[in-house]
Amino acid sequence: MHVRPSIATLAVIVMASVAWSCVAHAEARAGKRGDADAGARIFTQCKGCHEVGQGAQDRIGPHLNGIFGRKVAAHDGFWYSQSMTRAGHDGLIWTAKTLDAYVENPRALISKTRMSYGGMPNPQDRADLLAFLRMFSDDPANIPEAAPTVQGADHDISPDTRALVGDAELGEYLSSACVTCHQIDGSVQGVPSITRWPTEDFVVAMHAYKSGLRLHPVMQMMARRLSDEEIAGLAAYFKDLD
């Protein structure tokens, strides 16, 4: 004989399912936990330009004491690139998410950064490095509760999106929205030039705006209106623009 579950039983099942879903989602967002000891060893890759810890000084790059929670380009006395300074003016803050994105691919956040580092593709290596750097910021004992120690969701662009070959004619058609601010001749008049940008730099930057990783509200609005194919088309058009 088939017995229909009561409404109360169904409610319990639904609530349990929702609770499990929330836990799974939270665990997925929490991502990898870093090992500070392993991060100390990984930091040897950074020592040519950066110092951290007691007595740290600026070198080619700024020292990294107190980096978590600090506005980008806000370290007094260090000369930052225009692109880095502009990101700071836009309100970009160094958090686990933004630092992870920057270490993985510096151009994901700052297109014309002076940091000549190719990027760290391994997510566990990045988590370890950030756990080490976190020790030299405020309240390191708050791991894992403190927001700066929580690993953000994956921000990388899928291989399929990277492999898209843009249609330059489509890009030209869409470009009128871009050249209301960006000068088509490549000159800089308070707004960065996007003429002759390498395709990958263009695509990475636009997807960073689309995901909210980059903070400029106008660019976020513009990027979110565009499909992957349209972004690829704009990149193809501006890459070869005279």
| Same-domain pairing of 172 and 129 | no
Look at residue 7 and tell me whether its pLDDT is greater than 70.
no
Domain contains 12:
no
Quote the CA–CA distance of 29 and 83 in Å, as a whole number. 29
Most confident of 112-116, 122-126, 182-186: 122-126
Look at residue 114 and tell me whether its pLDDT is greater than 50.
yes
For the chain, give the percent of residues with pLDDT over 70: 79
| Same-domain pairing of 66 and 145 | yes
Domain ranges, residue 229: 159-239
| Same-domain pairing of 111 and 166 | no
The CATH number assigned to the domain holding 182 equals: 1.10.760.10
| Same-domain pairing of 134 and 197 | no
Last residue of a domain, one of 83, 114, 149: 149
| Same-domain pairing of 125 and 41 | yes
| Same-domain pairing of 118 and 204 | no
Q: pTM (2 decimals)?
A: 0.61
228, 229, 231, 235 alpha-carbon torsion, rounded to 10°: 140
| Same-domain pairing of 40 and 145 | yes
| Same-domain pairing of 87 and 129 | yes
Last residue of a domain, one of 149, 175, 206: 149
| Same-domain pairing of 61 and 86 | yes
Q: At what angle do helices 123-134 and 96-104 cross, to 10 degrees?
A: 130
Whether the Cβ atoms of residue 104 and residue 127 lie closer than 8 Å to each other: no
Residue range 48-69: mean pLDDT, rounded:
93
Which residues 6+ apart lie within 8 Å of 235 measured at CB? Answer: 166, 171, 197, 199, 202, 203, 206
Residue range 90-117: mean pLDDT, rounded:
89
| Same-domain pairing of 144 and 203 | no
Residue whose pair of structure tokens reads 């700066």 in the numeric block = 148
| Same-domain pairing of 77 and 118 | yes
Last residue of a domain, one of 102, 131, 149: 149
| Number of domains the chain contains | 2
